[in-house]
Amino acid sequence: MTSFLKFAELCQKVEGTSGSLDKIDLVAAFVKELEDGELAIASNFVMGTVFPDSETVLGVGPSILYEALARACGCTSDQIQETLRATGDPGLVAYAVAEKRRPLNLAAFGRTDALTIADVFERFISISRASGKRSQEAKVKNLQFLFGEASPLEARYIARLAMEDLRIGVGEGVARDAIAKAFGQPAELVERGYNLTNDIGLVAQHAKHGTLSSLNVKINHPIKMMLAQLGDTIPSALQEMRNAAIEWKFDGARVQIHKEGEKVRIYSRRMENVTLSLPEISKVTIKQVMAKSAILDGEAVATGDDGRPLPFQDILKRFRRKYDVEKLAVQIPLHLHLFDLIYLDGNSLIDRPLSERRQLLSSIADSELVASQVLTDNPEEAERIYKEALDAGHEGIMIKNPDSVYAPGKRGKNWLKIKPVMETLDLVVIGATWGEGRRASFLGSYRLACADLDSGKLLDIGWVATGLTDEVLSELTETFKDLILVQKGMEVELKPAVIFEVAYEEIQKSTNYSSGFALRFPRLVAVRDDKSVEEADTMERVTSIYRLQRGRNPKGHVKG
């Protein structure tokens, strides 16, 4: 069995390494020596993920973590907070706690009963299963045990794993290439396996045994959704695609529906199980989709009395709701629009062309559920559909290649979106400041970051405080209070977990932020609960927009 200390030592080396290729070499050398069970766990751990499936939630917030640390070292919460303010990192706090608990010259580094990777994972399983009135106490005790057994270095990475924020710069790309290198497999095949399973540990096991090609779509296992790329104009998109499939781009929330007999599971874009929150979607699927088993791709749209789409935040209220669901469903009814079929009666359809998938979809689903699609190479016809969609209150149109396969997790030119709005960016919230005066109890402005794919780090790009009513600030403060990692005066550091869609007038060069850029006149458009941190816009996109914006009107650009 591999000790957790060896994993912690790997993390320390990777964290101190700047180049992606060097990180890949370190991770590859480590995972290559692991047995199957440890390989599955460690491959997820190294990405800061404890459980690969979206339905198992660890449920550890800062308050639970810091209480466990305080108990493990016999110190007070104030002492923990003081260390936090000094270090700004829960992992470094755990390191300091473990140093106080046990002198460094004792057997912590070479004891025969060392914590193993499997030991840590089993404790995390116990934490995830804790429920009921005493669940918080059970979580604290399990973490306390781990910190009581851990060396300072182990404690550092146990704390970060508990927060699912490892901070070593290993994302999907590094993990993919490391597994490919460790087991001599094509990176493309590793990536395909991950997009189909959302489980890098399972993929690593198959890579080790040379069976990656056997991985495929499975019912009741959500896969990454195919994504669209921004299209410049309707004529240019049609010229590139020739005959194209034109659909409305609905102003709703993406859903992936798994139907097996009379049972339905619904997953959000983030692959979270939202079935209980959307009962009418389940009912209509059972009643109007005539298939023994199917995986369907579509959009859930909230509509008002006039039939027009309600604001996106109303849709998110439905996705978040866990209690009094039926009552809210009356207030905010949802309508389903299906536009793709991924799996049917035991067979994966992802390698079949869109035209065939749509034909099969129409054969099993009632016509009122299937989104309208028009095949055309005529820009005027596409413009007519575009205007029709906008007049109905939706976002624009999708222009799709009828010959395209379904590419999970991929964003490419086979699906293009046209949407006439001010330029926006999807950015990660990494910090905030408390307000003043009557807003003193609210987190009033929020620090934003984009993703640097090369380093795996989040780089700040500015703050947003515009477009926030007292009601919104109250909701946001409630959302973020359990994500506060460190507080220094009026400013707090937040666990990266929430995406803001932010509009702005211009991107400017700036030395004030680690990205090297700043947003001019940013304002909050929406809280994108349907998007994960991995879907945040990147430095590459920010740089690309900055280069393009000279000589054009920013408000004339289209963004999806």
From 410, 428, 426, 56, select the one nearest 224 (Cα to Cα): 410
Contact 422, 501 (CB under 8 A): no
Under 8 Å between Cβ of 284 and 266: no
Other CB atoms within 10 Å distance of the CB of residue 531:
20
Characterise 508 by phi-psi region: left (phi > 0), alpha (psi -120 to 50), beta (else): beta
- The residues near 426 (Cβ < 8 Å, ≥ 6 apart) are 499, 500, 501, 502, 528, 531, 535, 536, 537
Confirm whether 249 is a catalytic residue. Answer: yes
- Tell me if 357 sits within 8 A of 349, measured CB to CB: yes
Beta carbons of 339 and 371 less than 8 angstroms apart: yes
Residues 256 and 223 sit within 8 Å (Cβ to Cβ): yes
Q: Which two tokens stand for residue 53?
A: 């499936």
| 134, burial (CB in 10 Å: exposed 0-12, middle 13-18, buried 19+) | exposed
Pairing mode of beta strands 411-418, 227-230? parallel
C-alpha of 450 from chain center: 14
| Catalytic member of 139, 208, 224, 249 | 249
Structure tokens at 158: 């146990």
What one-character-per-residue DSSP string does 274-330 give? Answer: -GGG-HHHHHHHHHHB--SEEEEEEEEEEB-TTSPBPPHHHHHHHHH--SSHHHHHH
Ramachandran category for residue 335: left, alpha or beta (phi over 0 → left; psi -120 to 50 → alpha): beta
Say how far apart CA 345 and CA 291 lie, in whole Å.
7
Query: So which residues are the catalytic ones?
Result: 249
